[in-house]
């Protein structure tokens, strides 16, 4: 029997300031803490990060009911048995903490902060919720949270960290994402506050790599100033060259490569390349893994997790909406990753198994609607030449469901 206790629910906390939300995995459902609950927790001397009611409900579902919680882990529930739960969970059955410790103890090892939705890119799978550039394109307000809620949560965070017992044998990770964190002056300010409190933290910047040279220099200066700190830069990109620029509209490919190369020269920085595997990128995966493996390896970085494990879940852009003939297109990339000891191979096998599993009579229309939007609103790219398989997919699905 599968033990449906996902480590991320217990070891991770994600704070999403632009919409006053918390979660415990980037793929899980956001939840909002009311002012009344904040006041009640404060009155009882309990920290909102560890003792809010929704968090306890989700943990209880896993620990006592052995289920991934509905209205919590819907993304993985939908993708089972090839979900990211199978990829990201690091706790194995038989090696779990005691139930009471799991439910009420502090097991946090990973903290992720979205301080702002400010972003210079419009990635095809993103939205106005997480990108100010998307909001401007759609003509909707940029998402901003409550300044009062932000102040209360930051206060609770600092209180939590000051009273936390840090195990010297453990690693504690502090992620900064967005939006684009390097375009937000608050990012470096919060990083420095954390460094003053936490012994030997690991700081991870999830960046689109499109950072202007002068801003990147500030980050490099900070890396050099705090040389005892472990630094990781997780650089998000989904293709090579113009395909990368189209999928992540606004990206300047040459700047991305220059920034990654600058970071690779810093001895206390580990660079990780972060694709969100999607319907547009799947056929070009061999080119992707060989390029980035070669780039990082040429600078002495050969770690097995150099490529991140993620995938688009929305049906109009997810690999699961592709006909199953596209499974074979991942074989060369999987073989290459196996040959070079890259963890990305296992993830690509999960993606391969998902291809073609969520297709219905509405799939082609969803894909076409999104495709038409990009071709209309972003005409600077030759979408048909860059991604010729998209039209083939739509035609294939139309034929399949017109019979």
Range of the domain at 70: 1-108
In a domain, 59, yes or no: yes
In a domain, 342, yes or no: no
C-alpha 11/C-alpha 281 separation (Å) is 31
Can you say whether residue 46 is alpha, beta or left, with left for phi > 0 and alpha for psi between -120 and 50 degrees? beta
Q: What Å distances lie between residue 354 and 280, 299, 312, 324, CA to CA?
A: 15, 34, 12, 9
* Domain assignment present for 149: no
Residue 1 lies in a domain: yes
- Judge whether 358 lies within some domain: no
The set of residues, in sequence order, having a beta carbon less than 8 Å from that of 51 and lying 6+ positions away, is 41, 104
- Tell me the whole-structure pTM to 2 decimals: 0.87
Q: Is residue 312 part of a domain?
A: no
Number of domains in the chain: 1
Distance CA 321, CA 210 (A): 30
pLDDT in tens, the chain (403 residues): 688 889 999 999 999 999 898 999 988 999 988 889 999 998 999 999 999 999 999 999 998 899 999 999 999 998 888 888 988 888 876 566 666 677 877 889 999 999 999 999 999 999 999 999 999 999 999 999 999 999 999 999 999 999 999 998 888 999 999 899 999 999 999 999 999 999 989 999 999 999 999 999 999 999 999 998 999 999 999 999 999 999 999 999 999 999 999 999 999 999 999 999 999 999 999 999 999 999 999 999 999 999 999 999 999 999 999 999 999 999 999 999 999 999 999 999 999 999 999 999 999 999 999 999 999 999 999 999 999 999 999 999 999 988 6
54-109 confidence digits (pLDDT tens)? 999 999 999 889 999 999 999 999 888 888 898 888 887 656 666 667 787 788 99
In a domain, 366, yes or no: no
Is residue 102 in some structural domain? yes
């Amino acid at each position: 029997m599968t033990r449906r206790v996902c480590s991320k629910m217990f070891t991770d906390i994600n704070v999403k300031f632009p919409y006053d939300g918390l979660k415990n995995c980037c793929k899980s459902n956001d939840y909002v803490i009311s002012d009344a609950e904040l006041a009640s927790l404060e009155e009882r001397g309990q920290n909102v990060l560890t003792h809010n009611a929704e968090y306890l409900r989700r943990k209880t579902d896993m620990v006592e009911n052995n289920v991934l919680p509905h209205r919590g882990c819907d993304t993985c529930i939908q993708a089972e048995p090839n979900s990211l739960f199978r990829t990201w969970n690091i706790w194995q059955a038989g090696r779990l903490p005691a139930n009471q410790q799991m439910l009420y103890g502090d097991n946090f090892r990973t903290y992720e902060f979205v301080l702002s939705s400010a972003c210079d890119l419009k990635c095809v799978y993103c939205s106005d919720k997480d990108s100010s550039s998307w909001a401007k394109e759609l003509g909707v307000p940029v998402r901003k949270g409550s300044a009062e809620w932000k102040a209360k949560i930051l206060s609770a965070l600092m209180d939590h960290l000051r009273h936390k017992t840090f195990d010297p044998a453990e690693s504690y990770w502090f992620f900064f994402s967005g939006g684009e964190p390097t375009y937000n002056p608050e990012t470096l300010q919060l990083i420095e506050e954390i460094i003053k409190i936490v012994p030997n933290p690991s700081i991870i910047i999830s960046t689109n790599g499109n950072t202007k040279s002068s801003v990147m220099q500030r980050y490099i200066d900070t890396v050099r100033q705090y040389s005892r700190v472990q630094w990781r830069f997780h650089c998000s990109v989904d293709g090579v060259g113009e395909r990368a620029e189209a999928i992540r509209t606004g990206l300047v490919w040459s700047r991305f490569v220059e920034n990654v190369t600058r970071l690779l020269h810093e001895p206390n920085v580990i660079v990780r390349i972060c694709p969100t595997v999607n319907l547009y990128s799947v056929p070009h995966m061999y080119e992707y893994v060989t390029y980035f493996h070669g780039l990082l390896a040429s600078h002495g970085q050969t770690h097995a997790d150099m490529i991140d494990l993620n995938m688009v879940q929305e049906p109009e852009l997810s690999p699961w909406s592709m006909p199953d003939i596209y499974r074979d297109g991942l074989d060369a990339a999987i073989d290459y990753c196996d040959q070079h000891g890259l963890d990305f191979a296992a993830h690509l096998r999960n993606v391969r198994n998902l291809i073609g599993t969520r297709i219905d009579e509405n799939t082609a229309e969803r894909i076409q609607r999104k495709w038409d939007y990009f071709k209309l609103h972003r005409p600077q790219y030759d979408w048909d030449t860059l991604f010729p398989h998209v039209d083939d997919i739509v035609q294939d699905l139309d034929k399949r469901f017109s019979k």
